[in-house]
Amino acid sequence: MTSAGLRAGLIGLGSMGRHHARVLANLEGVQLVGVVDPMGDKFGAANGAPVLSTVEELLQLGVDYVVVACPTALHEEVGLKLAEAGVCALIEKPVADTVEGARRLVEAFETRGLVAGVGHIERFNPALQSLRKRLEAGELGEVFQVVTRRQGPFPHRIADVGVVKDLATHDIDLTAWVTGQDYVSIAAHTVSKSGRPHEDMVAAVGQLADGTMVNHLVNWLSPLKERFTSVTGERGCFIADTLTADLTFYSNAAQETEWEALQAFRGVAEGDMIRYAIPKREPLLVEHENFRDAVQGKPSSISTLRQGLRTVEVAAAVLESATCGTTVALSGLDVMPRDVA
């Protein structure tokens, strides 16, 4: 680290990489010193930083950390080069395209004591951050169910993975993160209707360690773009819309049951609805601020590589279930505690 702050690099100037370049170029305490993309900078997104062809050229410039936003299939190869060079890394999600690759990345960075994280950006969505704090404070009481819907048109930029690894990993990570619970089982069905080799729709049902039921519906086949998270518990239901960063609470009304035949039934009734006023900072900027602070050894919250590995393991179990037609158990895995953002 120089007197001017951290020296950062970026690998990949695709759709997500261009957003990373914009944030890095204006991030306090950070200098964007180089960008790697063999295709060049077609959109002028590098903000004046030199555009290089190889990771080795970037390393020669001297960097403290690198953001990896190249195609998923290249994450392992690029990440291992960075770890070997002693450089910290923020790797876009999913951390790798295979469980084995994710494990190798975890080992490479952990054994060298390097800070490394995964770009699970939903953790930094204002609605989900507020939701997690409210769940931790016990505002919902016992949690019964988490339901997510993430659907929209197919993004043509995605060519190397299906909807499970590209989109469902968002929901897997955010569900485990907001509840503080890990998945113990998953059952899923997938279909491929767009003519591509990968699945483009998945419906999954799972269970978390505390018994909470989980439902995920994810697809690239809908003209409706939706980012919906619902958490239902004994005191009501939270609804988070991560497109608008809105959080709403629907409370259970306290109703006395007079009809003797129904007194034994523990039902719910419609109560008050509250839409919370939440400060809405850009999630990607907050993610970068936290990673910068982590590299500097300051208090921060990041999605660690080990947590990213767990998400890849659950995604692999989703695909295994869909292929084999069985419920897949997930247990006995070494998972780090989930940080608070």
pLDDT for residue 28: 97
Say if residue 91 is in the same domain as residue 167.
no
Claim to verify: residue 196 and residue 58 sit in the same structural domain: no
Tokens of 176: 């485990």
Confidence of residue 335 (pLDDT cuts 50, 70, 90): very low
Instruction: Assess if residue 339 is contained within a domain.
Output: no
Tens digit of each residue's pLDDT (9 = 90 or more) over 121-135: 999 999 999 999 999
With respect to residue 340, please indicate whether it lies within any of the assigned structural domains: no
Domain count, the chain: 2
> What pLDDT is stored for residue 154 in this prediction?
83
Residues 179 and 318 in one domain: yes
Q: Is the pLDDT of residue 261 over 90?
A: no
Residue range of the domain that includes 292: 6-122+286-303
Do 141 and 271 share a domain, yes or no? Answer: yes
Look at residue 217 and tell me whether its pLDDT is greater than 50.
yes
DSSP 213-257: EEEEEEESEEEEEEEEEEEEETTEEEEEETTTTEEEEEEEP----
- Asked if 205 contacts 186 with a C-beta cutoff of 8 angstroms, the reply is yes
Check residue 258 and give its pLDDT. Answer: 57
Question: In the 8-state DSSP scheme, what is residue 295?
Answer: H
Q: What are the structure tokens assigned to 204, written together?
A: 């999954």
Q: Would residue 337 count as lying in a domain?
A: no
What does the mean pLDDT of the chain come to? Answer: 92
**Alpha carbons 177 and 163: distance in angstroms, whole number:** 20
270 pLDDT band, cuts 50/70/90, is confident
* 265, pLDDT greater than 90: no
What's the confidence (pLDDT) of residue 1? 55
Q: What is the CATH number of the domain that holds 210?
A: 3.30.360.10
Look at residue 257 and tell me whether its pLDDT is greater than 90: no
Residue 157 and residue 117 share a domain: no
Residues 103 and 130 in one domain: no
CATH number of the domain that 100 lies in?
A: 3.40.50.720
Would 334 be classed as within a structural domain? no
Question: Do 202 and 316 fall into the same domain?
Answer: yes
Q: Are residues 114 and 195 in the same domain?
A: no
Residue 190 has pLDDT above 60, yes or no: yes
Q: Is the pLDDT of residue 27 over 70?
A: yes
Q: According to the model, what pLDDT value does residue 158 have? A: 60
> What is the rounded CA–CA span in Å between residue 114 and residue 218?
34
Residue 70 contacts residue 15 (beta carbons within 8 Å): no
**pLDDT given for residue 254 in this prediction:** 63
In this structure, the answer to whether residues 78 and 144 fall within a common structural domain is no
- Please provide the size of the chain in residues: 341
Arithmetic mean of pLDDT, 315-339: 79
What is the identity of the amino acid at 30?
Answer: V
Judge residue 238's burial from the number of C-beta atoms within 10 Å of its C-beta, 0-12 exposed, 13-18 middle, 19 or more buried: buried
pTM above 0.75, yes or no: yes
Q: Does 258 lie in the same domain as 130?
A: yes
Q: Is residue 137 part of a domain?
A: yes
The backbone torsions φ and ψ at residue 113, rounded to the nearest 5 degrees and listed phi first, read: 65, 30
Same domain, yes or no: 225 and 187: yes
Give the whole-angstrom CA distance, residue 202 versus residue 314.
13
For residue 65, the model assigns a pLDDT of 98
pLDDT for 159 equals: 64
- Average pLDDT for 280-302: 97
Give the largest CA-CA distance in the chain: 79
Residue 56 lies in a domain: yes
Q: What is residue 196's predicted lDDT score, i.e. its pLDDT? A: 83
Task: Inform me whether the pLDDT recorded for 195 exceeds 90.
Answer: no
| Coil vs helix vs strand at 279 | coil
The sheet carrying 65-68 orders its strands as 51-52, 30-36, 6-11, 65-68, 88-92, 116-119
- Statement to judge: residues 98 and 195 lie in one domain: no
**Does a structural domain hold residue 299?**
yes
Judged by DSSP in three states, 96 sits in coil
pLDDT at 194: 84
Tell me: pLDDT of 152 over 80: yes
Q: How confident is the model at residue 301 (pLDDT cuts 50, 70, 90)?
A: very high
Note whether residue 190 is domain-resident.
yes
> Alpha helix (H) ranges present in the chain?
15-25, 55-61, 75-84, 99-111, 126-136, 163, 169-179, 283-295, 305-324
